[in-house]
Amino acid sequence: MALEGVLRPGHIALRVLELEPAVRHYTEVLGLHETGRDANGRVYLKAWDEHDHHSVVLREADEPGMDYIGFRVDGPATLDRLASAVKDSGLVSDCKWIEAGEHLQTGMRFRFTVSTGHAIELFAHKEKIGTATGDVNPDPWPDGLRGMSPSRFDHCLLYGDGFDDTVKLFREVLGFSLTEQVVTPDGLQIAAFLTCSNKAHDIAFIRHGEKNKFHHASFVLDSWGDVLRAADLISKHDVALDIGPTRHGITRGATIYFFDPSGNRNEVFAGGYIHYPDKPVITWHEKELGRAIFYHDRKLNDAFLTVLT
């Protein structure tokens, strides 16, 4: 099989300060679809082109941030194999199995904490509830789209110390490719963009003084025109804008960043390139960090660097 092992970021679990304003944001502004609520009050959401039951899970809490991100692997055997390999890697802590059904319509999940402090999950099963266009003679997009209506949850960016071991785990144990990196003049890697697919990134890490910080969850749009429409919707809904529309040097994506009502950062973006594992790693020098992150401004805004949840 040409695509195997870890397939994609399958869900991200976010903490929000108040559930209903958050649900309104993620459904009406971002444009995800609510697919269920569980006995713990968690709300499950998916984007219109995702077949799996959910890709975002919201939980009310005292502080915003990310509880965990879960990756879909290609089957139960891979789940067992990767769980063992992760456990034996010496690079993680707090390994445990979460029973099937703890997430709605989801099988067993193997959870562990990486050295940057983030909880990561692997799972092999989630019910496919399909999409509104169906799989027989489908239209290219469904009726009734709301808000920015990204087609998929795409990736997230996480900050933490213990950066090297986390990058090592993703590359050597989980089979991710390094697509792009930022290095200091001394050659220290301070940012790593990692993919398990042909996408420019499925997860990314920034070397940072504090563990377990969340920068943003990102969702994919079709076009630069959709980024403008997203920007207009941000203003129409009085959503807090971080920066954009602009382009990233890293990944080439055309992008806009904004905040959910609890202060968790969201991104919607379009474009990029097709990654292959034999493609040379793209390296950005720290002095070009401005251009790397925001290709047009060529400088970083304070909020982008310092607001983490």
Active site residues per annotation = 155, 201, 216, 248, 257, 267
- What is the bridge-based pairing of β-strands 189-195 and 203-207? antiparallel
Taking the complex as a whole, how short is the minimal distance between the CB of residue 286 and a copy of itself, in angstroms?
Answer: 11
Quick check: 265 binds a copy of itself (CB under 8 A)?
no
Quick check: 110 binds a copy of itself (CB under 8 A)?
no
Q: Which residue pairs, CB below 8 angstroms and at least 24 apart, start in 133-138?
A: none
Quick check: 27 binds a copy of itself (CB under 8 A)?
no
How many alpha carbons fall within 13 Å on the CB side of residue 205? Answer: 30
Pick the closer one to a copy of itself by CB: 96 or 279.
Answer: 279
CA–CA separation, 98 and 108 (whole Å): 6
Q: Cβ contacts of residue 111 below 8 Å, gap of 6+?
A: 68, 94, 95, 96, 97, 98, 119, 120, 121
Owner of token pair 């959503």: 239
- 268, burial (CB in 10 Å: exposed 0-12, middle 13-18, buried 19+): buried
Pick the closer one to a copy of itself by CB: 16 or 167.
Answer: 167
Taking the complex as a whole, how short is the minimal distance between the CB of residue 159 and a copy of itself, in angstroms?
Answer: 22
Restricted to residues 6-25, the positions that interact with a copy of itself (CB under 8 A) are 6-8
Quick check: 109 binds a copy of itself (CB under 8 A)?
no
CA–CA separation, 263 and 308 (whole Å): 8
Owner of token pair 């399909």: 130
CA–CA separation, 210 and 161 (whole Å): 6
Which region among 2-10, 17-25, 90-98, 184-192 touches a copy of itself (by CB under 8 A)?
2-10
Contact residue for a copy of itself among 141, 190, 300, 304 (CB under 8 A): 141
Taking the complex as a whole, how short is the minimal distance between the CB of residue 256 and a copy of itself, in angstroms?
Answer: 8
Taking the complex as a whole, how short is the minimal distance between the CB of residue 206 and a copy of itself, in angstroms?
Answer: 18
Pick the closer one to a copy of itself by CB: 67 or 189.
Answer: 189
Token pair of 6 as six digits: 């870890």
Pick the closer one to a copy of itself by CB: 162 or 245.
Answer: 245
With beta carbons less than 8 A apart as the criterion, state whether 184 and 43 touch: no
Contact residue for a copy of itself among 231, 300, 305, 307 (CB under 8 A): 231
Quick check: 81 binds a copy of itself (CB under 8 A)?
no
With beta carbons less than 8 A apart as the criterion, state whether 270 and 227 touch: yes
CA–CA separation, 243 and 241 (whole Å): 6
Contact residue for a copy of itself among 18, 84, 93, 296 (CB under 8 A): 296
Taking the complex as a whole, how short is the minimal distance between the CB of residue 53 and a copy of itself, in angstroms?
Answer: 13
Contact residue for a copy of itself among 249, 261, 262, 269 (CB under 8 A): 249
Q: Alpha-carbon Rg of the chain, whole angstroms?
A: 18
Contact residue for a copy of itself among 40, 62, 94, 140 (CB under 8 A): 140
Taking the complex as a whole, how short is the minimal distance between the CB of residue 43 and a copy of itself, in angstroms?
Answer: 24
Q: How many residues bind a copy of itself (CB under 8 A)?
A: 73
From residue 176 to residue 205, the character string flagging contacts with a copy of itself as x (rule: CB under 8 A) and all else as - is xx-----------------xxxxx------
Quick check: 97 binds a copy of itself (CB under 8 A)?
no
HEC readout, 41-102 = CCEEEECCCCCECCCEEEEECCCCEEEEEEEEECCHHHHHHHHHHHHCCCCEEEEEEECCCC
Quick check: 144 binds a copy of itself (CB under 8 A)?
no
